[in-house]
Amino acid sequence: MITAIIIDDEQKARDFLQKLILRYFEKRIVVLEKCDSIKEGIIAIRRYNPDIIFLDIQMPTENGFELFKKFETINFEVVFTTAHKNYAIDAIRHSAFDYLLKPINHIDLLSTIKRFESKNENLKRQERISMLLENLSSQDNNFNKIALPTQNGYELQKMSNIIYCQSDSNYCKIKCLDGKEFLLSKTLKYIEELINNPLFFRVHKSYLVNLNYVTKFDKAREFHVTLVNGEKIPVSVRKKEDFLNAIIHKK
């Protein structure tokens, strides 16, 4: 049985989530306590040592992220809840944390439960927290690090270390500057949306390239670019003009 605490300043939101759990997942999750503030939540966490915290991000007098500053060691998983899909959610996704958009439905909640039960994340909690806070402190949407969803869990990588991403059916290969390669059980479209950085350009249906590592563009015969590691990547005809504009105007 998974033990949980709900922290949300809105009573309706707390009660709704508890009712959802009781209706659909009574035999899988038990809510130990519902708290209306970070202060109450801290007391409850120390009292019960729960498995999961359902944590509202925006509350009138405090931010849900402040919770992390109150514990030297995090021994619980955090699922953020919010009514707004904003910049904070992008940072959460990049840092391999789970989140639920309000109004929460039982299908999304089931996915969260399954991910917790599988326990296949090899990225430690403290590392994820550090990365989340670092991404949140960024002044724009260009995050410094990303948690790549590998077959065995997650791999923490700096954005600047990724040279290109290549589609391989429903898998995606990531090639890094330090020579590492990762095969992810995700599509290239998923990785492109996760990275969401203007320095990464889809030059071809099968390739997403970091523009910082393009050293040459050859248009003599078939269009292709040469990367800093010597590899040649094709550029589709319909992407040529947009690619040249991206190269010219990249920061």
Cα 126 from Cα 132, distance rounded (Å): 10
Specify the pLDDT at position 10.
Answer: 94
Judged by average pLDDT, the poorest of 24-28, 111-115, 213-217 is 111-115
- Closest by CA to 8, choosing from 102, 93, 108, is 102
Cβ pair 21, 1 in contact under 8 A? no
**pLDDT above 70 as % of the chain:** 88
Nearest to 55 by CA among 88, 86, 91, 9: 9
- Which amino acid belongs to residue 239? K
Residue ranges of domains in the chain, CATH in brackets: 2-135 (3.40.50.2300), 158-249 (2.40.50.1020)
Report the distance separating Cα 121 and Cα 119, nearest Å: 6
Could you tell me how many residues make up the chain? 251
Q: Nearest-5° angle of CA 239, CA 241, CA 167?
A: 20
Cβ atoms within 10 A of the Cβ of 104, count?
A: 19
Mean pLDDT, the chain, whole residue set: 85
Identify the pLDDT of residue 112.
Answer: 87
Q: What is the pLDDT of residues 85-124, one digit of tens each?
A: 775 777 777 666 788 989 999 999 998 888 787 764 545 6
Q: Answer yes or no: is pLDDT of 125 > 70.
A: no
pLDDT in the model for residue 142: 62
- Please give the model's pTM, rounded to 2 decimal places: 0.61
Task: Report in angstroms the alpha-carbon separations of 1 from 5, 22, 30, 213.
Answer: 13, 13, 7, 49
What does the pLDDT look like over 27-73, one tens digit per residue? 999 999 999 999 999 999 999 999 999 999 888 888 888 888 888 88
